[in-house]
Structure 1
Amino acid sequence: MDSSTGTGAPHTGSRAYTLVIAAPTILLPASSLANANAGTAYSQTLNPASGGTAPYSYALTAGALPAGIALSAGGVISGTPTASGTFNFAVTATDASTGSGPYTSAPRGYSLTVNNPIVIGPASLPDPVYAQSYNQSLSATGGTAPYSYSLLAGALPIGMSFSSAGVLSGVPRTPGNFSITVGVADNIGVSISKVYTFTIAAPVIAISPTALPHPVLGVAYSQSLSSSGGIAPYTYSLISGAIPVGMSFSSAGVISGTPVSAGNFTFVVRSTDDAGENSSQAYTLTIAAPLLAI
């Protein structure tokens, strides 16, 4: 309306206007999360969102939190983790606007590392000895007792076992190199694994005696072999050569009989233990020819 006078005064006019209120940009600032320890209570509050109408609510939109940990609507990450590792996830913040709202932020990525406090000992295992009794206990610290143990991978030597109490024991019957993975879980489910390697040397089976007394032509003869270094009982076999005519060699390792011919006789015997390990020994028997009286 103007301030003119006269006919038709005052004069008026109109104009239309549009007022646009832009949607707010909700900002969720970065937060550096402190590391957690499995089995230990944890709590961390995210840096608060801004740009909209408070209060804000927070939600997990991608990835996963560790087992035992949750995100509250108030932006608090808390709980007692039961799994270790690095966990990546995304969170959004939503404001309290009405009307065209509420408004939600773009996802913000986070990374939470959960350390495993359990330590398995010993650091390494002593090598077992073939055919000898072995007993080695594992131990665990840093978690919530009691602990349970399991064999996760690898194969034990024949004759040995691994108990849920963490005891590796037995009498090994297989030489070779072995690698096993053992797992330990504490009372609240936190677990860890460890690889152990050990070597069982092949046995040296000794056959005794190393030389045999010589038979006498026409005289009864008996000589027993014995073995050590392996797992009894042992069985014996003749693998080459020949024993004197009139004599025999048993699987029990007994050379016996009455020789009926003179000469030098060389042969090789094999001793095999109860687990199949073996060794051999060469022998020579000399049977003198009779002296002829003239």
Structure 2
Amino acid sequence: MEVAGVGVWSSQLRYGDPAEAREAAAELEELGFTALWVPDAGGPLFDSVRGLLTATRRTVIATGILNLWMHDPNRVAAEYTELTARHGARFLMGIGVSHAPLLDSGDLHRYRRPLGAMRSFLDALDQAVSPVPVEERILAALGPNMLELAAARSRGVHTCFVTPEHTHHAREVLGPRPLLAPEQTVLLTDSRAAARDVGDDWLRATVALPNYANNLRRTGFTDEDLAGLSDRLFDSVIAWGDEDAVAHRVAEHFSTGADHVCVQVLTADPTEFPREQWRRLAAALT
């Protein structure tokens, strides 16, 4: 499995109309995107992965990420075995611990000792009847401890809501061999006001998640940046402007250590497949 070039991270491919998701996936492959990443906030994850694999021939389908609290590792290993037997080595299993506020609503209290939980999940994948190979799994990681675990127990790291400066730091922790695949959020627009109209609510919700907020502080942002959604913060985590502006930011990730970058497109309607934007970006990125 080769994971290089530029891919697409998309909630629509996961939670949008399945028929349109398959049609869009086939087009994204023809446009030259090398991997398609989908989130996991509940629901039949492997049905979505199966549909995207069936709709494509070459593209890697990756989970960004499989939420370990929501899955039995033995079942995950069995699904991996079935998918790779049918479609070859095109399923990259991204695994992550998600965020406590998203998991512990009500009285669930599932989010405990995330580093230990990840180790246990990986142990179970290794001990399954048909193990998930180290080279076909990748961990969501931001801080140094999870980055080091990823380097030791997986193919590498998938990072989200990060800057090129964090990509540089992650590469220093990982060393030269592990895969480093950051996500970059983008907004195609010709004005800051239009970018803010679309991006502020998304940014506010994302900054509210402690794992992301703490990582931004480690990267050098202040509490004032986070509370006020400063222009510095907005411009650092969202690549907005025309296709050249997005291409410049993606190139920064590559120059600071990324092996693969996946772009997440924001639009005014988060449920709509951003197919026009994907087509525009393909010309600049692939």
Higher helix share: 2
TM-score past 0.5 threshold = no
Structure-1-length-normalised TM-score: 0.19
Structure-2-length-normalised TM-score: 0.19
Higher strand share: 1
